[in-house]
Structure 1
Amino acid sequence: MKFGVVIFPGSNCDRDMLDALQHDLQQEVVALWHKDSDIASFTTNDCIVLPGGFSYGDYLRCGAIARFSPMMQSVIAFANKGGKVLGVCNGFQILCESGLLPGVLLANANQQFVCKNVYIKNTNDASATPLMIPIAHGEGRFYAAPDVLAAIEANHQVIYRYCDAAGNVNEQSNPNGTTNNIAGIKNAQGNVFGMMPHPERACNAALGNQDGVQVFETLLGVIAQNIIA
């Protein structure tokens, strides 16, 4: 499997993502520039990553301009063919703006930028333990219309929820007012993933936290299950 990390003007987590994938997870990684559009070397068994940051300065709305970049046109086509796509923080916002994921990311309920460690829980694995993963966002409050939200929940598309250190999903563990404590979702087809927390910032012992490795290993496991022979 090969990973491609898209770099937009305003991306500031691209190097973190590249380093975590290449050095901590020993994966093949290629940097992709937003003005380019050629991803012919990637197969639907590979994964394109949209990193965190402030693409195009977050003008209009977070991710609204990035959605129209030449590279994103190729990424959208890639995803629609079954290619794997992961968006983290601003990348999650771009995926929602692109229509590759349902819902939107709104301003945090407290109207303030939040930067701290939080706990998240894999909602599709009853044996999963809470993971401590950093967040850093001002617009991370997931929202979807009631019928869309009902479909997301019914289809088990929520991949992570905010929780406390013991794994309890409650209001006190919700850092931004997001609906149903949602920290990350996937599309109905299971090939596009978005999350607000930053697993790439928790993949190395030098950082004092390696819980992010489990996030990527879970993702790799899901992708492996959907590999096209």
Structure 2
Amino acid sequence: MTIAIIEFGGSNCNLDVLHVLEDVVGVDAERVWYKETDLDRFEGAIIPGGFSYGDYLRSGAIASRTPIINSVKKIADEGKPIMGICNGFQILTESGLLNGALMTNKYPKFRCEWTNLRVETTDSPFTSAFKEGEVIRIPIAHMDGNFYADEATLSTMEDEKLVTFRYVDKEGRVTDEVNPNGSQENIAGILNGKRNVMGLMPHPERAAESILGSNDGLRMFQSMVEYINNR
């Protein structure tokens, strides 16, 4: 098994993801530059965080138009798991692989802090190792994390349980006070309709070892690997 880590000019969390996959989870991973046009040799892919192309135009807009995105779409169509973290989430929405959009935070300021997330579904390649309703601790680091979708899309997402994580307090309650960016319905992560593509704004790779203050994020990578092994 080898998982691709997709890199663009401005990616800055690629080495963190590589460390988690190789040194913590114990699987092979390979950094893949955005000019690559064939991802068939990989069993899955992660688009890490950062500031691809300096967030010019819109966060993720330029990266979503690079050659590798067609290859990402191809392996997604084949059912292989794709995870987009922070800027990766923005790229997935800009490319149409996920619904909605990520706008500037309601209070237009870069937020870098710990957040509590409630696990909304375990029926995905990325959340199977969790318990539904469980509260986990994962940090954020973004300025454009304000998730928006129209009412019809939000309704479909709720009906099909396509929301993976919401910002909550320590007791698991959804409140405006704990929403760090103004996201609708406190949404922190979502799935596509086939459930094999996930985007989330928090950084699980920064919470994959207890020495970092939390290892709750590790289970996202472990869930992904288990899914690949069982395909």
Regarding TM over 0.5, the answer is: yes
Return the offset for 1:19. Answer: 0.6
For residue 216 of structure 1, the aligned residue among 190, 203, 221 is: 221
Gaps of 5+ in 2: 123-130
Aligned residues: 223
The aligned residue for residue 23 of structure 1 is 23
Q: Distance in 1 between matches of 2:134 and 2:156?
A: 26
After alignment, is 90-99 or 202-211 more displaced? Answer: 202-211
One-letter code of the match for 2:80?
A: G
Aligned partner of residue 177 in structure 2, secondary structure: helix
Aligned residue runs from structure 1 range 68-217, under 5 A: 68-124=65-121, 127-217=132-222
Secondary structure of 1:172's partner?
Answer: coil
Shift of 1:208: 2.7
> TM-score w.r.t. structure 1 length?
0.92
* 1:47 maps onto 2:47 in alignment: no
Aligned partner of 2:53 among 56, 68, 80 = 56
The answer to whether the 8 Å contact 2:139/2:203 transfers is: yes
- 2:109, 2:97 → 1: CA distance? 27
Residues 55-64 or 70-79, more deviating = 70-79
1:49-75: CA deviations, max 9, x gaps? 100001111111111110111111211
* Shift in CA distance, 171/78, structure 1 to aligned 2, threshold 3 Å: same
TM-score, normalised to structure 2, is: 0.91
Q: Which residue of 2 aligns with 1:14?
A: 14
Shift of 1:173: 1.5
Q: Percent identity?
A: 42
Aligned-partner Cα distance in 1 for 2:99–2:210: 35
Q: Is the 1:96–1:103 Cα contact (8 Å) retained in structure 2?
A: yes
Q: CA deviation at 1:216?
A: 2.5
Q: Distance in 2 between matches of 1:120 and 1:179?
A: 14
Q: RMSD of the alignment, in Å?
A: 1.6
Query: 1:118 is paired with a residue of what secondary structure?
Result: strand
Letter in 1 for 2:201: M
Give 2:128's aligned residue.
none
User: CA 1:128 to 1:147, structure 2 compared with 1: closer, same or farther past 3 Å?
Assistant: closer
Contact 1:6 1:33 in 2 (8 A): yes
